[in-house]
Amino acid sequence: MALTLAEGAKLSNDIILQGVIETIVQESPILQMLPFVEITGNGLTYNRENVNPAATFFDVGDTWTEGTPTFTQITTPLKIIGGDADIDNYLLTTRNNVQDLQAAVIRLRAKAVQQKFEDTFLNGDSAVDTKSFDGIDKLTVGGQSLTLGANGASLTLAKLDELVDAVKGGPPAMLLMSKRTRRSLNTLARATGSLLQADRNDFGQMVQFYDGIPVAISDYIGDAKTVGSSSDCSTIYALQIGEGAVAGLTSPGGLQVETIGSLETKDATRTRVKWYVALALFNAIKVAKLIGVRP
């Protein structure tokens, strides 16, 4: 069963871990929604559906033809992401009455892990960094990659609808875009005499909706990508989430906060935040992207 980080944290009795997860989930709309499948082992091998066999009509006595679906076998290994948080014992002893230094330092380290995961979720390329996993930009291929033109163009609602329709088997669970693109979308909505719907999510944050689909914002979607002769382009991603679509992979227990203890070479205490994690796309038609979005 796939659970989001927030739901998984409810099953933990570790107060520090619960606080770390609460911190990173509040900062990331992706981690608020993305479910994770726990796997035993160092990776997952699965079959990604390519083409379904076609059905046809037959007359009585016709010879029936066999049709076979095709799959691509994918092996996704778990990758290691994390970092150490060191707290000087002198400060821990003399300044802890002002602020819980250990909690503050661990919270900052957890935020760094969240930022690295979100960046890799979007832009990861294992061919460039063999220690990381492939993100949705690289995983989206073929007819699931739409464009606004050879050199990009301004966003239109018609093209955004085309992006939504490119995700098959139901509407996307989210539209991921940059802040600049969201401003363009708001301008388009106002120009048509309507506004994007808005409501609070499960974390008490205000979220906009386009045609009932949550609009999620990420600082790791660049606004300076090159498409043709234009170097001011951005990308919008539409994706379904869950088993059978886009899901995270994690080792049992998920994100971990490990106390290393006193260090040998300096008067400090170390805590390690680590995560054995990866990303899986179980079906290529569950994600699409629109490139060439200019201001």
pLDDT digits (tens, 9 = 90+) for 100-138: 777 788 888 888 888 999 999 999 999 999 999 999 999
- Using DSSP's 3-state secondary structure scheme, residue 120 falls into helix
> Which residue numbers in the chain have pLDDT < 70?
1-24, 51, 96-99
Residue 101, token pair as written in the block: 């230094």
Give the number of other Cβ atoms within 10 Å of residue 163's Cβ.
Answer: 19
Question: Which burial class, exposed, middle or buried, applies to 253 when counting CB atoms under 10 A from its CB (0-12, 13-18, 19+)?
Answer: middle
Q: Which CATH class is domain 1-49+77-295?
A: alpha beta
| Residues 132-177 pLDDT 10s | 999 999 999 888 999 999 999 999 999 999 999 999 989 999 999 9
User: Distance (Å, rounded) from C-alpha 167 to C-alpha 184?
Assistant: 22
Query: How far is 131 from 77, CA to CA, in rounded Å?
Result: 10
Q: How many CB atoms lie within 10 A of CB 128?
A: 10
Question: For helices 179-191 and 157-166, what crossing angle results, to 10°?
Answer: 120
- For residue 216, CA distances in Å to 4, 83, 238 come to 16, 27, 10
State how far the Cα of 18 lies from the Cα of 11, in Å rounded to an integer: 9
Please tell me the number of Cα atoms within 13 Å of 48 on its side-chain side: 19
pTM of the entire predicted model:
0.86
* pLDDT score at 148: 96
User: What SS3 state is found at 119?
Assistant: helix
Q: Which two tokens stand for residue 248?
A: 């995270």
Whole-angstrom distance, CA of residue 210 vs CA of residue 192: 13
What local confidence, expressed as pLDDT, does residue 106 receive?
82
Count the neighbouring beta carbons within 10 Å of the beta carbon of residue 161: 12
Element (H, E) at 241: none
Helix, strand and coil in the chain, % to nearest 5:
30, 35, 35
- Which amino acid, one-letter code, is at 39? I
Within its chain, how far is the Cα of 11 from the centroid? 22
pLDDT for res 6: 60
**80-92: burial string, b at 16+ Cβ within 10 Å, e else:** ebbeebebeeeeb
* Domain assignments of the chain as residue spans, ordered by start: 1-49+77-295
**Reduced to 3 states, what is the DSSP secondary structure of residue 238?**
strand
Give the span between the Cα atoms of 124 and 120, in whole angstroms: 4
